[in-house]
Amino acid sequence: LTQFDYDSWDTMSGARKGPGRPRRYVDEEEEPEMDHGGNMWVQMLQQQQTMLQQQQAMHHQYQARQAQAERQHREMMQVLQ
């Protein structure tokens, strides 16, 4: 696993800012340790993504319920007139 200099990455697009190859922080022997850290990082990001997707799903459900409530309200008002 190559350890990138994260500061040189544009976090939104994933594009590198500025020239040059990624910096290597560690020697070969230490790589498994770095890999473990990388896996933890990946797990954290995946967890965050899962939570975000759940929130979005809940938000869409909420919006759907709101729209339904508004429809029912309008229908009732028409009936009452």
How many structural domains comprise the chain? 1
What residues pair up with 9 in beta bridges, in sequence order?
16
CA separation for the pair 80, 7 (Å, rounded): 63
Range of the domain at 14: 6-80
Residue 57 belongs to a domain: yes
The pTM of this model reads 0.46
- CA–CA distance, 61 with 78 (Å, rounded to integer): 26
Measuring CA to CA, which residue among 8, 12, 10, 36 is closest to residue 22?
Answer: 8
Give per-residue pLDDT as tens, 14-68: 555 566 666 665 555 555 555 777 899 999 999 999 999 999 999 999 999 999 9
| Domain membership flag for residue 1 | no
For residues 22 and 62, give the distance between their C-alpha atoms in angstroms, rounded to a whole number.
Answer: 44
